[in-house]
Structure 1
Amino acid sequence: MALHWQILGALLAAFLVGSVFGTEAAGIPLGSIYAFVGGLFLDALKMLIVPLITASIITGVASMGSAGGVGMMAGRTVIYYVFSTTMAVTTALLVMNLYQPGISGGQPLSQTVELPPIGEEVSGRLEGQELSGFFNILREMVPANIVEAGANAQMLGLIFFSVLFGIALTRVTSPGRQVVKDFWAGVQDVMIQITHWVMRVAPIGVFALVAGVIAESGLSVLLPMLDFFLAVVLGLAIHALVVLPLVLWLVARRSPILFMRAIWPALLVAFSTSSSAGTLPVTLNALTQRAGVSRETASFVLPLGATINMDGTALYECAAVLFIAQAYGVDLSLSMQVLIVVLALVTSIGVAAVPSASLVAIALILGVLGLPLEAMGLLLVVDRVLDMVRTSVNVYSDATGAVVVARLRGEDRVLTDTRFEEGEEGATSAERG
């Protein structure tokens, strides 16, 4: 059975087992078992991130042969990411204003549900932090200690150092240049092989992670916040099933259906782990071996995307803030809604690629607008499930960007070669040149 079908079966089984048996059955602590097995799987994925991404970027940049080639690809990547995130936030703005889940029976939710009062001096609580936070993100691009950056998974610092190392490698003329290049290519091939091994147990890890969530929370947690949940899912669906496929079709000239078939395993892992960074090895594997994107392109675009391109997260941040404003009966002007869009764009760049990290960014935006942070308790009811959905959209957008950039670079084998099927071993980096 193909891997994506195994993972899908594990998801269905997790929903069934988690809702039926809960966290304990016949004296067996199922919740602890789920946490242990799921934690092992997450740790195995995270173990791959630093060596795989570092080796892949260095090898890819060194293979381009010039800093100009790197700059052109980086420019195209950033343009795509800014565009896709802007479209995601705009979609949230339209859906929330049309659907208005914070209004119940023609009245704000605060009229029917007891919410924390809005303080008079709340508006200045976090004023100006969005700008300083943005500069802190830029500061992280140059790590003072590359080993510490790797240990803390500071992706921007790792990416910057790896790109710099790869460019420097193209300028070195000593006999050791090829040795270093072959070393990193070898590390990349070894890490991809380990990724294959980890993915063989992915169905077990996915089952444990999702069953644990369902066993602890239950599906009933969705009922009090059903309108907000459906509004966010609708926005994510529009972005993932309409906006991004149109970009893929119009810019990359490739079939969205073939693309979905190629990256399906990565989306399932993203859904179960709620971690863009943790899914990176799987996404890289799916794009290079199933979709035909070159390792040079995928190794550059995907790590950058997992750091700065958070379409699902930006959409959720905007939707969450507008929902709380509606719940309190706050009529936001057009300029205030534009401010929310800008803040969602900026803060989504700095959101860590780990579960529920967007709550920090939402707190910042609420503080700027003068809305009480305590109201975030409403979001916690459905945040865990929505986190799984929006992470899948994050990964979907990153993968779309890799295909778009690959096609703009003239890669003609993307989503056209029938050899890129499940279980097919990809060519080594040495074979790809």
Structure 2
Amino acid sequence: MTDKKKASLTARIVTGMGAGILTGIFLQMLMPDKSDFIIPLYFFDISLRALLIDGFFEVIGQVFISSLQMLVVPLVFVSLICGTCSLKDTTKLGRIGGKAISLYLVTTAIAISFAMFLALLISPGEGVNMTAETTFASREAPSLAQVFIQMFPSNPFAAFAQGNMLQVIIFALLFGIAIALSGKAGERIASLFEDMSTVIMRLVTILMNLAPYGVFCLLAALFTDMSPDIFANLLVYFLVVFFALVIHATVTYSVILKVLTGLNPLVFLRKMRNTVIFAFSTASSNATLPITLETVTKKMGVKNSIASFTVPLGATINMDGTAIMQGVATVFIAQVFNVDLSLSDYLMVILTATLASIGTAGVPGVGLIMLAMVLGQVGLPVEGIGLIIGVDRLLDMTRTAVNVTGDSMVSIVVGKSENQFDESVFNDENAGNKVENIDFQDLDKNQSGD
């Protein structure tokens, strides 16, 4: 029964994606070039775009995303406190953080280097010969010193309200360390946060029931307004980015996992399936964070003391997918505008994108903001972003799937290196299936039984 329900939920999400795409294509046939379709009635006319695209689909899709985003700050805060206060040895916490951050930065540097190499090899922007007519103001990438300064909150409640995840993480770590060092009082507070964690994860489970409907509405709206001409003109760019993303997710992560842990990469990739689908449909590492955390702990076998630290950290600083897009886009825009970049320029792009990824929020579309910063560092016209923005949403979905795969891989490597990893759970194909065994009637029974 458990397997049936698990397959049912997975099938529902995939069905929602497929139905949303087909619905969007059908609506685009009715309303080409973002036009409208009017349904005449006796007393008034109904706008199909206002009713469906800007109405029903927009409302349901955004409510679904908002519901998931609602959980991000409390989940990260509570999970990090639970994980940190369970580590009585504070030196161990520093060791875990050092391993995780090092791995995240290394994989990001590998990602953008490979992407730029592939783009230079294929040259997706050659022959376009465009000239920049408009000067766009771009934000400068923050210095490394500024990144570290901004990590520490002057007002933690402001960090919560603004969703500044780096500051939330720092405050949660400090608060968790204080709990671990506070004796009996700390144990009572730690017990409270453990209960809060259980309640939040139950809320995550409930919201997962809404995933197929939210995914349907998001993709239906997306594919309704996606112009076929954009795909035709940017097909090579799209395929280069997509190919680099797939290779990084399947080959780079698999090689690192095999070399550092000896585990079977195929098992890892199979168990990431549902999380990847969810990440692809939401295009948000933060929105997928609860699902990633469940997968890493329940299906992969990483102890919560490690996963509750590495997964939220990865959702904040691990932006391999975004780095790949930035690498290919930089080369593409340089070729389109006939700008020759030197080796030092390419090295600057790698360094800037890697360090800037530390402060990148895991929300849809943020990669374009970071790309403007990267382009500004090497003197490329920021207006070039307009060339790729049409296909960026679909690529955004793909690179989010890559990001959460990297978060999970690093969590396994760190967990195994710290002996906080259950290999029998990792090798058990049925491990964690009960996470998706969701039934509202069962919830009501459980609540009445308690």
Instruction: Calculate the TM-score normalised by the size of structure 2.
Output: 0.87
For residue 131 of structure 1, report the CA deviation from its aligned partner. 4.4
1:91 lines up with 2:102 in the alignment: no
The aligned residue for residue 329 of structure 1 is 338
Query: Contact (CA 8 Å) 1:49, 1:278: kept in 2 or not?
Result: yes
The aligned residue for residue 245 of structure 1 is 254
1:78 lines up with 2:101 in the alignment: yes
The aligned residue for residue 57 of structure 1 is 80
Which letter maps to 2:146? N
Query: Contact (CA 8 Å) 1:37, 1:208: kept in 2 or not?
Result: yes
Which letter maps to 1:56? S
For residue 139 of structure 1, report the CA deviation from its aligned partner. 2.4
The aligned residue for residue 16 of structure 1 is 22
Which letter maps to 1:116? A
Structure 2 residue aligned with 1:116, among 114, 117, 132? 132
Separation (CA, whole Å) in 2 of partners of 1:379 and 1:313: 14
Separation (CA, whole Å) in 2 of partners of 1:196 and 1:261: 21
For residue 419 of structure 1, report the CA deviation from its aligned partner. 4.7
Separation (CA, whole Å) in 2 of partners of 1:424 and 1:342: 40
Map 1:294-373 to 2 at 5 A.
294-373=303-382
Query: Contact (CA 8 Å) 1:244, 1:397: kept in 2 or not?
Result: yes
Map 1:149-164 to 2 at 5 A.
149-164=159-174
For residue 421 of structure 1, report the CA deviation from its aligned partner. 3.6
The aligned residue for residue 258 of structure 1 is 267
Structure 2 residue aligned with 1:39, among 39, 51, 62? 62
Structure 2 residue aligned with 1:281, among 271, 284, 290? 290
Structure-2 change in CA distance of 1:418 and 1:271 (3 Å) = closer
Separation (CA, whole Å) in 2 of partners of 1:309 and 1:248: 16
Separation (CA, whole Å) in 1 of partners of 2:379 and 2:370: 14
Separation (CA, whole Å) in 2 of partners of 1:357 and 1:299: 24
Separation (CA, whole Å) in 1 of partners of 2:250 and 2:11: 21
Which letter maps to 1:372? P
The aligned residue for residue 383 of structure 2 is 374
The aligned residue for residue 440 of structure 2 is none
For residue 226 of structure 1, report the CA deviation from its aligned partner. 0.7
Secondary structure at 2:427's aligned position in 1? Answer: coil
The aligned residue for residue 446 of structure 2 is none
For residue 373 of structure 1, report the CA deviation from its aligned partner. 1.5
Moved more, 262-271 or 32-41: 262-271
Query: Contact (CA 8 Å) 1:126, 1:368: kept in 2 or not?
Result: no
Query: Contact (CA 8 Å) 1:118, 1:371: kept in 2 or not?
Result: no
Secondary structure at 1:415's aligned position in 2? Answer: helix
Structure-2 change in CA distance of 1:387 and 1:284 (3 Å) = same
The aligned residue for residue 431 of structure 1 is none
For residue 215 of structure 1, report the CA deviation from its aligned partner. 1.1
Deviations 1:194-246 (A, max 9, x none): 11000011111111111111112255531111111111111111111111111
1:30 lines up with 2:52 in the alignment: yes
Structure-2 change in CA distance of 1:191 and 1:131 (3 Å) = closer
Which letter maps to 2:115? A
1:168 lines up with 2:174 in the alignment: no
For residue 118 of structure 1, report the CA deviation from its aligned partner. 8.2
Secondary structure at 2:86's aligned position in 1? Answer: helix
For residue 83 of structure 1, report the CA deviation from its aligned partner. 1.3
Separation (CA, whole Å) in 2 of partners of 1:367 and 1:142: 27
Query: Contact (CA 8 Å) 1:348, 1:358: kept in 2 or not?
Result: no
Structure-2 change in CA distance of 1:135 and 1:211 (3 Å) = farther
Separation (CA, whole Å) in 2 of partners of 1:208 and 1:400: 30
Query: Contact (CA 8 Å) 2:134, 2:383: kept in 1 or not?
Result: no
Secondary structure at 1:302's aligned position in 2? Answer: helix
Which letter maps to 2:426? L
For residue 45 of structure 1, report the CA deviation from its aligned partner. 0.6
For structure 2, the 5+ residue unaligned runs are 40-45, 438-450
For residue 64 of structure 1, report the CA deviation from its aligned partner. 1.4
Deviations 1:313-340 (A, max 9, x none): 0111111111111112222222221111
Secondary structure at 1:371's aligned position in 2? Answer: coil
Query: Contact (CA 8 Å) 1:115, 1:375: kept in 2 or not?
Result: no
The aligned residue for residue 178 of structure 1 is 187
Query: Contact (CA 8 Å) 2:73, 2:163: kept in 1 or not?
Result: yes
For residue 263 of structure 1, report the CA deviation from its aligned partner. 2.2
Which letter maps to 1:176? A
The aligned residue for residue 434 of structure 2 is 423
Query: Contact (CA 8 Å) 2:80, 2:172: kept in 1 or not?
Result: yes
For residue 299 of structure 1, report the CA deviation from its aligned partner. 0.7
Query: Contact (CA 8 Å) 1:34, 1:212: kept in 2 or not?
Result: yes
Deviations 1:142-172 (A, max 9, x none): 1122111111111111111111111111111
Structure 2 residue aligned with 1:392, among 372, 393, 401? 401
Query: Contact (CA 8 Å) 2:349, 2:377: kept in 1 or not?
Result: no
The aligned residue for residue 43 of structure 2 is none
The aligned residue for residue 429 of structure 1 is none
Moved more, 262-271 or 387-396: 262-271
Instruction: Calculate the TM-score normalised by the size of structure 1.
Output: 0.90
Moved more, 89-98 or 366-375: 366-375
Separation (CA, whole Å) in 1 of partners of 2:95 and 2:77: 20
Identity score, percent:
34
Map 1:391-410 to 2 at 5 A.
391-410=400-419
